[in-house]
Amino acid sequence: MPKRVLYLLFSMLFISNILYASKRIVVDISKQRAYAIENGSVVFSGRVSTGKPGHRTPTGHFRVLEKALKHVSSKYPEPNGGARMDYMLRVTDSGIAMHLGYVPNYPASHGCIRMVNGFAQKMYSWANVGTPIRITTSSSFNDFVTGQRSTGVRKNSDHKSALEAFGFRRSINYIRSHKRTHKKYKRRSRHKRVYKARG
């Protein structure tokens, strides 16, 4: 079997394992919504409130560092803290966390990700320490997940949504381009063999 074919098979297997290996959380700041993803599908989602201007929630890739059913802030309200942050999932060592809190329809926190009542409890029970978290300002993921046709059917599957959310588009396109290149190579090789046989 050619090395290219083996490489393509290995790449597809690697991406598939990453996608389906574990639970994941995606927080879409642009839509003020968070998603729980398992086995490549969105299992549930809920409204959130992220950091207001001057206290923006950091974006990027994180993991749940700690879980605490009952938690009290050591900083807010300033200067001595005391604010309750129940159902807390710690995101960074600097104090950013997902927790139960007041959720208006706009960013209102000091950097944390407040979760609405009901959703916070569900996320706390579902997530584990170590669960990957993706915080993004892009609305592409939410558009794939919530896009509805007039019939009420989603425009795209949750599988594709998960791929978009975790940045696998380039990897998929890379594999597809190599598949096309391999097919062209096989056709050229076959034509060369036919030409030599006739000559």
pLDDT digits (tens, 9 = 90+) for 126-180: 999 999 999 999 755 555 454 433 333 333 444 444 445 445 444 555 556 655 6
Q: Are 97 and 58 in contact (CB under 8 A)?
A: no
The answer to whether residue 10 sits within a structural domain is no
pLDDT at 54 over 60: yes
- Radius of gyration over alpha carbons of the chain, in Å? 23
The verdict on 101 and 54 lying in the same domain is: yes
Is residue 22 predicted with pLDDT exceeding 60? Answer: yes
Q: Label residue 181 by pLDDT band (50, 70, 90).
A: low
Cα separation values, 30 from 39, 118, 125, 138, 197, Å: 24, 22, 25, 6, 62
Q: Which residue has the higher pLDDT, 16 or 33?
A: 33
Number of domains in the chain: 2
pLDDT recorded at residue 158: 42
| Angle CA 124–127–133, to nearest 5 | 110
Q: Do 107 and 187 belong together in one domain? A: no
| 45 pLDDT above the threshold of 70 | yes
Query: What CA–CA distance (Å, rounded) separates 159 from 136?
Result: 18
Q: Is the C-alpha dihedral spanning 39, 40, 42, 47 positive or negative?
A: positive
Same domain membership, residue 130 and residue 88? yes
Peptide bond into 58 cis (omega under 30): no
Q: Are 89 and 64 in contact (CB under 8 A)?
A: yes
* Residue 12 falls inside a structural domain: no
Residue 59 domain-assigned (yes or no): yes
What is the model's pLDDT at position 76?
73
Judgement on whether residues 46 and 111 belong to the same structural domain of the protein: yes
Question: 91 CB contacts (<8 Å, ≥6 apart)?
Answer: 62, 64, 65, 97, 98, 113, 133, 135
Task: Return the pLDDT at 132.
Answer: 96
Residue 108's nearest CA partner among 76, 139, 156 is 76
Is residue 108 domain-shared with residue 85, that is, in the same domain?
yes
| Assigned domain for 113 exists | yes
pLDDT in tens, 67-92: 999 988 877 766 666 688 999 999 99
Same structural domain, 34 and 84? yes
**One domain, residues 132 and 53:** yes
Query: ∠185-189-193 over CA atoms, to 5°?
Result: 170
CA 186 to each of CA 5, 63, 179, 192: distance values in angstroms, whole numbers, following the listed order: 12, 44, 11, 10
> pLDDT at position 39, please?
87
Amino acid making up residue 143:
D
Residue 187 resides in a domain:
yes
For residue 138, the model assigns a pLDDT of 75
Confidence check: pLDDT of 42 > 80: yes
Q: Greater confidence, 103 or 156?
A: 103
**What average pLDDT does the structure give for the chain?**
76
Domain that holds residue 189: 170-198
CB 169 within 8 A of CB 96: no
Share of the chain above pLDDT 90, in %: 48
**CB 132 within 8 Å of CB 61:** yes
Q: Is the pLDDT assigned to residue 108 strictly greater than 50?
A: yes
Residue 43 within a domain:
yes
Question: Which amino acid type is present at position 136?
Answer: T
User: For 7-27, what is the mean pLDDT?
Assistant: 67
Q: Hey, what are 103's tokens?
A: 């959720």
CATH code assigned at 122:
2.40.440.10
Same domain, 29 and 78: yes
Residue 122 maps to a domain: yes
pLDDT, position 180: 63
CA distance 67 to 98: 10
In-domain check, residue 4? no
